Amino acid sequence: MIALADAGFRAVSFDYRGYGLSDPPPPGNKATWFDLLNDLLHILDALALSKVFLVGKDFGARPAHFFSILHPERVLGVVTLGVPYVPPGPSLYHKFLPEGFYILRWKEPGRAEGDFGRFDVKTVVRNIYILFSRNEIPIANENQEIMDLVEPDTPLPAWFTEEDLATYAALYENSGLQTALQIPYRSFGEVFNLPDPVVRVPALLIMGGKDYILKFPGIEDLTKVEKAKELVPNLEVTFIPEGTHFVQEQFPQQVNQLILDFLAKHI
């Protein structure tokens, strides 16, 4: 955000419902993907922003892409990090990956709560950063939980400081983890009646070459421009060879420059 502001752009970020400092949904009301899309629309209206570039990381890629389909007149371009455009449809993970796959585990009501509940929030966030910065998909054995995949003495990645961890942990201590489990893990089955499943605005995908997500079934094909053109005709893809799933935290200057170059081409 600082790099964009220094380059003359207005950079706006917000906490999704139930994340960070935003209020969680009322008890009994579960957040949905469409809530996020509607929130984004109302935020743009409230700030009187007629057209914007959207930048989404990980599960933020889905609302960024879908918003550009539903409201193309409001979007100049989309930048996503770590996740390519995946058109809406039923989740097929259960057909290709074992039951210990972390998304299948966290999709199951109560499973992650029991797993996470054995630790303080700071330890949960620490373990997730360690797990997701590896280049292997987190998969637990039958009698093992996802948190058990990280030994207690495992160091943080070199680019992630104890100060970073304390900041993120404090936010999750405020918000809790319930919405983070609901969106995205327990909402992959949400139905989207998009008028057109194609992302037609200019798009940039930034991937780490060692991102574990590339090992998800079908994902690598969606990162190849020649194969993704049917779904994202104006797609550019850049790989940062040593990057993991947190490529923007590992290589902030490089990622900032890629985003600025993309914005300059499509402003």
3-61 residue pLDDT tens: 999 999 999 999 998 899 998 888 878 889 999 999 999 999 999 999 999 999 999 99
Q: Confirm if 182 and 30 have CB atoms less than 8 A apart.
A: yes
Residue 252's pLDDT is 97
Residue 120's pLDDT is 96
Q: Give the pLDDT mean for 141-157.
A: 97
What is d(CA 43, CA 47) in angstroms, rounded to the nearest whole number? 6
Q: Residue 215: pLDDT band by 50, 70, 90 thresholds?
A: very high
Q: Residue 90: pLDDT band by 50, 70, 90 thresholds?
A: confident
Tokens 């942990």 correspond to: 169
Q: Is the pLDDT of residue 93 over 90?
A: no
Q: Residue 193: pLDDT band by 50, 70, 90 thresholds?
A: confident
C-alpha torsion angle, residues 249, 60, 84, 98 (rounded to 10): 90
In the chain, what are the domains?
1-89+193-266 (3.40.50.1820), 91-188 (no CATH)
117-130 residue pLDDT tens: 999 999 999 999 99
Q: Confirm if 248 and 211 have CB atoms less than 8 A apart.
A: no
Q: Beta partners for 5?
A: none
Q: Is the pLDDT of residue 104 over 90?
A: yes
Q: Is the pLDDT of residue 227 over 90?
A: no
174-186 residue pLDDT tens: 899 989 999 999 9
3 state SS of 111: helix
49-62 residue pLDDT tens: 999 999 999 999 99
Residue 75: name the closest of 103, 38, 50 by CA: 50
